[in-house]
Amino acid sequence: MTAVALVRASAIALIVTVSVATAFAQTAPAGPTGGQPGGPPVTPKPGGPLTPSDTTYKVDAIEFLLTPGQFVEYKFRLKTGATMLFNWTATGMLEVDFHTVPDGKPISASETFIRGNFNKGQGTYRAPYPGLHGWYWNNAGKEDVRIIITAAGFFTEARMFSGDPDGELMEVQDPPPPPQ
């Protein structure tokens, strides 16, 4: 191959390489897209996946020991649309009823979302209306049963009921800071 032919072949290869590289290069978008700065403010759509809150979430963890025939109710106060994550485990089977009591309504206005015999539960919950939302656990067995519940969410208080219609106010906390 002569020097002229070699230069010409190299020039053609360079042009082809530049053309292919240009075809794969991205051009800047006409307007900003997700994850890029700039553009007008964007607010979350009602009912969408992002629901900002004007308060910080709270955390709670508690343990109960139910002897045979004992029951306890543990509920969280949530506003409409407020969410919580929960996990509870028990050392034996319990009669369980997750229900709500809407603010300003009688107990007869309660709505049950799950009822049955269980020894654990975990998931998320979004309050359909303001009020107290939580569990009734009854030990219908012949052995003691220990229950441990942990929850995090946009609740403002927790109450334990074991016969008293007003329940006992329980402490909920702000989330812990990250480890140092």
Residue whose token pair is 């002897």:
67
**CATH code 2.60.120.680 for 58-170:** yes
d(CA 21, CA 10): 16
What pTM does this model have?
0.76
Average pLDDT of the chain, as a whole number? 85
Question: 59, 102, 55, 97: which is closest to 77 by C-alpha?
Answer: 102
Per-residue pLDDT tens digits for 49-74 = 888 888 899 999 999 999 999 999 99
d(CA 137, CA 141): 12
CB atoms within 10 A of CB 160: 16
Per-residue pLDDT tens digits for 80-112 = 999 999 999 999 999 999 999 999 998 889 999
